Every structure is written in C-alpha cells, then in structure tokens.
Amino acid sequence: MVDTILNTLHNAFSDLSYSDTYTQAQKCTRCPLATTRTKVVFNQGPVPCKLMLIGEAPGADEDIQGIPFVGRAGQLLTKMLEAVEIFRPNDIYITNTLKCRPPNNRTPLQSEIDYCQDFLLKQISEVQPRILILVGSPAMKTILHPDESISKIRGKWFNLTVDYMSESLRVMTIFHPSYLLRNASKEQGSPKWLTWMDLKEIKKTLDTL
Ligand code: SF4
C-alpha cells in the first residue's frame, strides 16, 4: 500500500459540513500566509465530482480573484483540459495544497502544507473523486511521498485506498503548467507532449467510470 495522507481522511473539519468548512477557510489564520493573502482560494468545481485536481498554491491572479488556476499557467491548463473535452467548472473540482498565496510565489513551506492539510482532506472526503490529478511536485509530494522525481512519476497511475469507496482512487501526477510555459516545445517527448498524452489517458479512464 502507498503510504499517503489519504490512508485516513479524518481531519479537523470532519464534523462540519462542506459549506461550514468553506466559511472557516475564508477566515483561516492557521498559518502566517493569512497576513499576506488578499483572498483565500478554496476551489472551483462541483461537490461531489468524479475528477479532482490539486495544484501547488494560488499565484498573483488567483490571490486577487479568489479562483484557482486563472493566471497564464491556469489558462494553459484550461486549454489543455478543454482539448480532451474536460470543461471547467462543471467537469472538474480544482484546488491547491495551499489555499493562500505564498509571497512572491515562493515554494510552499512544509509547515504551511501541514497547517492547510485538514482543508485538503476535508475537500477530498466531500468531493469523493474517482480520479485525482496532482499538478506539479508539491502536490505530488503531499499525496504520494515518492522518492523519485516528477519526471519519473508523471504519467503513472497509482491506486490508493480511500474510505469513501470500495474501489481504489486512481491518482496521476502531471507537469505543472507553469513549467510547460517555460518549455514551449510540442515535439514528441517534450514536457508539453507528455502532458497531452497524460491528459488523454486521464480522459479515457474517466469515460469508463
Ligand atoms: S494557507 Fe491554509 S492554513 Fe494557511 S492561512 Fe491559508 S487557509 Fe489557513
């Protein structure tokens, strides 16, 4: 069995409704990011939802709008999802490991991820996805704790045991769209091409569920 935080979805908000947890997040001061954020970026998408995506953290545009993946990287992600006929906001629930923007978009600290983890577990337990997409290395490390780098892990299915369904939760890591913006080639074998292959595989599997 993969050692993952999803081995138990019990969390500090287990006794609260989803909407009460959302309200708690909007006024959360669990970590120092509360003092620098503009808006808490909780999610976009329906609850429950077969397909869930977890990114890293809000950036500047997300911090202003309060919606995940709306900046340049988010627009690329949206285009790539649409190319495999996955449409926001109805087909996919989108969130991040952190709900508040780290200053200057620095990499999240492990302490911040730990403080925010209860919100993420609550979201997964309410959304009850059948497929989970991990976008970028921090999301991958938060859920899968792999020893290997993202270039080795991406595109592989992991089957995780969760307590809301008898079947395994299928988890796949893909490259972060901000990485794809810095690596624009679409040639076969390029990060963009590989991500395209990964999203096609995810859509093909989604259609069987
Ligand atoms: S990042 Fe998470 S834990 Fe930190 S203040 Fe925001 S909602 Fe709370």
Question: Model's pTM, two decimal places?
Answer: 0.96
Question: Is the CB of 28 within 6 Å of ligand 1?
Answer: yes
Pocket test for ligand 1, best of 27, 35, 40 (most atoms within 8 A of CB): 40
Question: Is the CB of 141 within 6 Å of ligand 1?
Answer: no
Quote the pLDDT of residue 5: 84
pLDDT band at residue 154, thresholds of 50, 70 and 90? Answer: very high
Whole-number percent of the chain with pLDDT over 70: 99
Map residue 134 onto helix, strand or coil.
Answer: strand
pLDDT at 1 over 80: no
Distance, CA of 154 to CA of 198 (rounded, Å) = 8
Residue 91 carries which DSSP code?
S
Ligand 1: atom nearest CA of 25 is: 7
Spacing of C-alpha 117 from chain mean position:
12
> For the packed helices 18-26 and 110-127, what is the interaxial angle rounded to 10 degrees?
150
Out of 11-20, 70-79, 117-126, 136-145, pick the least confident.
136-145
The domains of the chain, with CATH numbers, are 5-206 (3.40.470.10)
Pocket test for ligand 1, best of 13, 22, 30, 54 (most atoms within 8 A of CB): 30
Distance, CA of 183 to CA of 179 (rounded, Å) = 6
Per-residue buried b or exposed e for 53-77, using 16+ beta carbons within 10 Å of the residue's own CB? bbbbbbbebbbeebbbbbbebbebb
Question: Is the CB of 118 within 6 Å of ligand 1?
Answer: no
Write the residue with the smallest CA distance to atom 3 of ligand 1: 116
Q: Which residue has the tokens 């040639």?
A: 187
Beta strands in the chain (DSSP E): 51-55, 93-96, 131-135, 157-160, 169-174
